[in-house]
Structure 1
Amino acid sequence: MTHVSRGKAIIVNNVNFSRESGMTKRAGSEKDADELTDVLRMLGFSTERYNDVTCLQLIRIFQSVSTEDHSDYDCFMFAIMTHGTDGAVYCTDGVISPDEIMQELKGDRCPTLTGKPKIFFIQACRGQLFDGGVTVAVEETDDTDSGIPRRPSLVIPAEADFLVAYSSPPGYYSWRNISSGAWFIQALIRILKDAGTSLEINQLLTRVSYTVAYEYISSSSVPDFNQKKQMPFYTSTLTKELFFRPKNNHAIQS
């Protein structure tokens, strides 16, 4: 993370959908997009923001990113706020698999991002299951992380160095308040503001998970939607610890 620039962050905020998609307007998402853009700029990212994109537009955005020269960048970040289902997210005109767009950034297609973190934040439902929560006794525990020694290698897997953080596990709803924003995105914004330049990415996401799990619960006049919980979920093939240390040449672009 010692390159000239932090890197590019692309933010997609889908609010309005075609009638054919069957999806409703995502009120309250503008707040999430505005505040996430601000905090990513604070961390040194050059941001590009897109609203209400089609499947083809999203594919073309990633095809363009894959052909760019990222040699002077630390990493790449992508965030999308939209409707979703298990295994796919909605664009304005239909669904697309996150795996399909991630293919464009793998080492065999985007060589200048090889060995660099590619971070995805996905705010979308992943199914129709509710998490009703469980009652547990309060217990304080200390966790330790064991580091894996670095080993020199001339070849790394094309799948290496991706981190994908979802707002919920496979099969579950994600919650969004129409005035205060989505639980996951708001927790992410808060943690990045408070500790984004000091903690490692897994520590940051653990705090995001804690915030969503312990501080949020749904409130609805519809019984089936009331008093429900949410648990963020992420997968990682990162090969190194990741910190967003402040840069001396902190020039933020939009």
Structure 2
Amino acid sequence: LTAAEPVHMSIQESGPVSHKVSDDQYRMQSQPLGICLIIDCIGNDTDVLEETFRGLGYDVRCYRYLNMNTMNQTLLEVARLQKHRNCDSFICILVSRGSPQNIFCTDHTFSGFPLEQVKKYFTADSCPELRGKPKLFFIQSYIVSENEQECTSLLEVDGNDEKIIANAKIPWKVTIPQVADIFWSQCKVDVSTLEKSPSSSSYYLRCLAELLRNPHKRKLSILDIHTELNGKVYEWNKTTDPSQQYSLLLQHTLRKKLFLSPA
């Protein structure tokens, strides 16, 4: 092979999957490892993410440019899939304009779909097939300033008899999720980043994909990978205009070590 020729290979390691799982690690041996749901309402990140997580051994389902109602229905349908029963994990990646607490999808009313509701669809109460299994969420939020948003709106959420109030002026409350096995990584950057470069991918998601495609880095635990991701993002911020800087928040209730790739 010459240096210019691409090498097509799976990121997943070869050989039989017969590793003994220690008590302090999540079991990650199913084929596929789980469903990876990608909802990209901007459209710049899907291809790289799809290739990355498919290479890791996930059943990747991609959706672009959804409005709030369609996204809600998609989340509900994926949460109800019986396939989760035979899988060891679940991943959800969302890319959208929004506020710190909501995502706007492709809607222009800025009413917002609550991120908390996204999480609730996949907790053990709502999705028993994922009980005790790691559920990972990676959220890229392009933040729209408050003066561009309507104050309050009502969103009817399928599957619940309640209406969820989405108020754009609620401050960002840092609350640890009260359910186990959740890994929640949310990155915020001002929407002006998109306006200046509409076709650019998220630096946060690009670095995540690079780490997971690196044969050495991807063997680290997900917490160690995220620590390296933090480092890359904050190094980026040092050389970037303050209005274009990324802000990264990690919340998790993992009970064990999580490795997405066999050691």
> Does the Cα contact within 8 Å between 1:106 and 1:158 map onto a contact in 2?
no
Matched, 1:198 2:219: yes
Q: Tell me, which stretches of 5 or more residues in structure 2 are unaligned?
A: 1-27, 147-176
Q: Tell me, which stretches of 5 or more residues in structure 1 are unaligned?
A: 16-28, 130-156, 248-254
| Cα distance in 1 for residues equivalent to 2:144 and 2:231 | 22
> Can you list the C-alpha shifts for 1:80-102, whole angstroms capped at 9, x where unaligned?
11111121111112410111122
Q: Secondary structure at the match of 1:204?
A: helix
Matched, 1:71 2:115: no
> Does the Cα contact within 8 Å between 1:11 and 1:47 map onto a contact in 2?
yes
In the other structure, the counterpart of 2:251 is 235
> Can you list the C-alpha shifts for 1:54-87, whole angstroms capped at 9, x where unaligned?
1111111121122212121111101111111121
| Cα distance in 1 for residues equivalent to 2:72 and 2:100 | 19
In the other structure, the counterpart of 1:47 is 60
Q: 1:104 aligns with which of 109, 121, 136?
A: 121
Matched, 1:124 2:141: yes
**Which amino acid in the other structure matches residue 234 of structure 1?**
L
Q: Secondary structure at the match of 1:50?
A: strand
Tell me by how many angstroms 1:5 deviates.
2.1
> Does the Cα contact within 8 Å between 2:79 and 2:122 map onto a contact in 1?
yes
In the other structure, the counterpart of 1:218 is 240
Identity of aligned residues (%): 24
1:164/1:126 CA distance change after superposition, 3 Å:
farther
1:6/1:61 CA distance change after superposition, 3 Å:
same
In the other structure, the counterpart of 2:49 is 36
Tell me by how many angstroms 1:214 deviates.
0.6
Tell me by how many angstroms 1:127 deviates.
6.3
Tell me by how many angstroms 1:240 deviates.
1.1
| Cα distance in 1 for residues equivalent to 2:201 and 2:178 | 35
> Does the Cα contact within 8 Å between 1:10 and 1:48 map onto a contact in 2?
yes
1:127/1:91 CA distance change after superposition, 3 Å:
closer
- Provide the TM-score with structure 1 as the length reference: 0.70
**Which amino acid in the other structure matches residue 6 of structure 1?**
L
How many residue pairs align between the two structures? 197
In the other structure, the counterpart of 1:250 is none
> Can you list the C-alpha shifts for 1:234-253, whole angstroms capped at 9, x where unaligned?
11011111101249xxxxxx
| Cα distance in 1 for residues equivalent to 2:30 and 2:235 | 37
- Provide the TM-score with structure 2 as the length reference: 0.68
**Which amino acid in the other structure matches residue 210 of structure 1?**
G
Matched, 1:88 2:102: yes
1:58/1:179 CA distance change after superposition, 3 Å:
closer
RMSD: 2.4
Matched, 1:3 2:23: no
> Does the Cα contact within 8 Å between 2:90 and 2:136 map onto a contact in 1?
yes
Task: Kindly indicate whether structure 1 or structure 2 has the higher relative contact order, using CA contacts under 8 Å at least 6 residues apart.
Answer: 1
| Cα distance in 1 for residues equivalent to 2:101 and 2:253 | 18
Tell me by how many angstroms 1:158 deviates.
7.3
| Cα distance in 1 for residues equivalent to 2:187 and 2:95 | 10
Q: Secondary structure at the match of 1:181?
A: coil
> Does the Cα contact within 8 Å between 1:108 and 1:158 map onto a contact in 2?
no
1:158/1:2 CA distance change after superposition, 3 Å:
farther
**Which amino acid in the other structure matches residue 62 of structure 1?**
L
